[in-house]
């Protein structure tokens, strides 16, 4: 078959895959990263009068973190635009999407690409990166990914492990170097950054939708309910989309943290929290201004390296086991090391769970012969959680199964493909075209202050802030959190949950949220993805919806937006 016939076949296949209600045309899905002015936080480099530590400035490698005069400016809003490069006119709709906990804009790459393709390019997706992504040193990964060799990947590992500034790089090794401003990167700053992106989208079309996955879903609800002074957030939107995440407006299941915990630290809904006073005046390692438990930026660097090695040398011995034996506790291949840290049968943290297979079980043996079962502390996985056995001298291997029921496990289908997930952790397009200005699946430096503020406002403002908390929030020139408009929110809602290993236990949680607003029941659409774990919503295109049946997540989103559009 000649080249012309091959290209023609590809085009015909693409045309046939576009639903008939959309224009019959090819779609060239492209992506662009945009960095625009964000909220001016008065303690952050780039704000008037803020002095910058030269060592910190030297450690930041992202060119977008600097203004044209070379000065560091971190008061930026960031989004990655997914669009059809061949479309001539403005899009019919723009979907602005907020990533979840410790997640970056590229976590939406698969879903966003499919939405653009499904609509024949009529819709765009703008995926948010938080300003903290400007702090990531992606240089070693860029070099490794563009070479895509074992040697280059080992060189990246060496660069992060033995960085002259300290293991993991300057910012991870010197966390308090960013405390003076990251302590103020809370809910108000983040929502105002999101508004900068929404406002930019509204200059192109009035049909702007806001959505998010996991913690991003909660942030979507908070944006809709936010009083920005001149407008409430929902008044800027045509609809909202929440994927496997929701706040609790009743304050019963997720109780807002107390004033004392907010100020001085303690236990929060997502685990231990550093209080505002600790973030502003750090003394202990746990007072770091970015999230360090249960993961940390160094581990995130290694996950990206591990994903690349799982693609390059899946059956070779794990290069990460000597560095992080607690994450790879038994001799294993590179593929098995990644699988044990991401798959929903092994990963304890719900927000990091994918369905991508199981450890390889030799013929005639059982799952119990290669792993030990225990109850899932989250109560989400019907199979419980598993820990690998030491099979020395053999290495644990990974079986990228699409159905684990033959192993005697319940709820067998595995919606996400192992290789797809591994490639999703690479930069940009994931196709050896990485650049230092690219974005990734993970957010290395998620602000602890943002988690603190969300933990305080988890009931969507049902509990008013005390004068003491408002005074603390404004003590360094910031704004008080004004999450006061939830009862007025009245735009259409699409809510989708994962039924295995998801954050939302039932559709009732979504309905509880909608009833706390002014959204008519007729404008609420709720669906469940069968056999999906939490992050499968972002990495699987399998059609496992319940009502309507046999749809995938991008199709459900497109149907919802089409229904809302005039």
* Predicted pLDDT of residue 17: 39
For 212, the enclosing helix (H) or strand (E) is strand 208-213
Phi, psi of 101 (to 5 degrees): -60, 135
- Other beta carbons within 10 angstroms of residue 404's beta carbon come to 22
E strand residue ranges, 71-150: 76-84, 93-98, 123-129
The residues pairing with 98 across neighbouring beta strands, listed in sequence order, are: 212
Query: What is the C-alpha to C-alpha distance for residues 538 and 536, in angstroms, rounded to an integer?
Result: 5
> What pLDDT is recorded for position 380?
84
pLDDT at residue 1 in the model: 39
290 by Cβ neighbours in 10 Å (0-12 / 13-18 / 19+) ranks as buried
Residue 7 has a pLDDT of 34
Q: What are phi and psi of 343, to 5 degrees?
A: -70, 145
Contact at 8 Å (CB) between 481 and 188? yes
| CATH superfamily label, 3-135+186-256+457-564 | Alpha/Beta hydrolase fold, catalytic domain (3.40.50.1820)
Q: Give the whole-angstrom CA distance, residue 268 versus residue 101.
A: 15
Average pLDDT along the chain, 566 residues, taken 10 residues at a time: 36 36 70 97 98 96 96 98 95 98 97 98 98 97 96 97 97 97 98 98 98 98 98 98 96 91 91 95 95 93 97 98 97 98 94 96 95 89 93 97 93 94 93 89 97 97 97 98 98 96 88 97 97 97 95 98 95
| Distance in angstroms (rounded) separating the CA atoms of residues 170 and 291 | 16
Q: Bridge partners of 240? A: 210, 493
For 237-266, b where at least 16 C-beta lie within 10 A, e where not — what string?
bbbbbbbbbbbbbbeeebebbeeebbbebe
pLDDT of 8: 37
* Alpha-carbon span 138 to 367, nearest angstrom: 38
Residue 114, exposed/middle/buried by CB under 10 A (0-12, 13-18, 19+)? buried
pLDDT of residue 377: 84
CATH 3.40.50.1820-classified regions of the chain = 3-135+186-256+457-564
CA–CA dist 454, 220 (Å, integer)? 12
Distance CA 186, CA 48 (A): 20
Chain centroid to CA 441: 7
Strand duo 93-98 + 208-213: pairing: parallel
Those residues whose C-beta lies under 8 Å from the C-beta of residue 48, and which sit 6 or more positions away, are 42
Half-sphere exposure of 487 (CA within 13 A, CB side): 5
Angle, helices 448-456/187-202, rounded to nearest 10 degrees: 90
Cα separations in angstroms, 549 against 537, 544, 555: 16, 7, 11
pLDDT score of 410: 86
> What does DSSP assign to residue 377?
T
**pTM over cut 0.85:** yes
95-152 residue pLDDT tens: 999 999 999 999 999 999 999 999 999 999 999 999 999 999 999 999 999 999 999 9
Residues 6+ apart with CB under 8 A from 482: 188, 226, 227, 228, 229
Residues 218-230: tens digit of each pLDDT:
999 999 999 999 9
């Amino acid at each position: 078959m000649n080249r012309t016939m091959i290209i023609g076949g590809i085009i015909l296949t693409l045309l046939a895959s576009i639903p008939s209600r959309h224009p019959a045309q090819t779609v060239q899905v492209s992506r662009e990263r945009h960095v625009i002015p964000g909220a001016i936080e008065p303690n952050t480099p780039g704000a008037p009068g803020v002095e910058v530590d030269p060592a910190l400035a030297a450690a930041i490698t992202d060119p977008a973190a600097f203004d044209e005069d070379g000065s560091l400016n971190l008061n930026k809003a960031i989004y990655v635009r997914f669009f059809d490069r061949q479309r001539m006119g403005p899009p019919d709709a723009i979907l602005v999407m907020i990533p979840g906990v410790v997640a970056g804009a590229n976590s939406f790459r698969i879903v966003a690409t499919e939405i653009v393709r499904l609509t024949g390019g009529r819709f765009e997706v703008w995926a948010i990166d938080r300003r903290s992504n400007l702090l990531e040193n992606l240089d070693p990964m860029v070099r490794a990914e563009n070479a895509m060799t074992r040697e280059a990947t080992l060189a990246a590992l060496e660069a992060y492990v033995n960085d002259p500034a300290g293991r993991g790089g300057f910012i991870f090794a010197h966390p308090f170097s960013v405390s003076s401003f990251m302590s103020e990167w809370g809910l108000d700053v983040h929502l105002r950054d999101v508004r900068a992106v929404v406002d930019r989208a509204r200059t192109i079309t009035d049909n702007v939708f806001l959505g998010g996955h996991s913690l991003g879903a909660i942030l979507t609800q908070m944006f809709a309910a936010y009083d920005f002074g001149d407008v409430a957030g929902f008044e800027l939107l045509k609809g909202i989309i929440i994927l496997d995440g929701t706040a609790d407006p009743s304050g019963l299941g997720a109780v807002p943290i107390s004033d004392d915990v907010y100020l001085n630290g303690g236990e929060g809904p997502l685990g231990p929290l550093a209080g505002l006073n600790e973030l502003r005046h750090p003394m202990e390692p746990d007072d770091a201004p970015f999230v360090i438990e249960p993961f940390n930026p160094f581990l995130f660097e290694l996950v990206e390296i591990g994903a690349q090695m799982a693609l390059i040398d899946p059956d070779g011995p794990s290069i990460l086991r000597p560095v992080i034996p607690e994450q790879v506790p038994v001799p294993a291949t590179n593929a098995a090391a990644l699988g044990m840290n991401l798959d929903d049968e092994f990963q304890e943290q719900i927000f990091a769970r994918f369905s991508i297979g199981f450890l390889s079980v030799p013929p005639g043996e059982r799952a119990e012969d290669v792993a030990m079962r225990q109850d899932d502390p989250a109560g989400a996985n019907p199979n419980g959680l598993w820990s690998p056995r030491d099979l020395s001298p053999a290495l644990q291997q990974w079986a990228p199964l699409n159905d684990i029921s033959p192993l005697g496990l319940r709820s067998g289908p595995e919606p996400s493909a192992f290789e797809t997930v591994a490639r999703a952790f690479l930069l940009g397009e994931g196709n050896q075209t990485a650049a230092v200005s690219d974005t990734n699946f993970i957010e290395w430096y998620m602000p602890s202050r943002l988690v603190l503020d969300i933990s305080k406002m988890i009931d969507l403002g049902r509990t008013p802030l005390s004068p003491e908390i408002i005074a603390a929030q404004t003590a360094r020139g910031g704004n008080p959190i004004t999450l006061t408009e939830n009862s007025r929110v009245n735009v259409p809602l699409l809510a989708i949950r994962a039924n295995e290993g998801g954050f939302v236990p039932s559709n009732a949680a979504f309905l509880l949220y909608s009833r706390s607003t002014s959204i008519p029941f007729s404008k609420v659409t709720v669906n469940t993805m069968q056999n999906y774990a939490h992050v499968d919503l972002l990495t699987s295109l399998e059609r496992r919806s319940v009502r309507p049946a046999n749809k995938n997540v991008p199709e459900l989103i497109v149907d919802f937006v089409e229904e809302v559009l005039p």
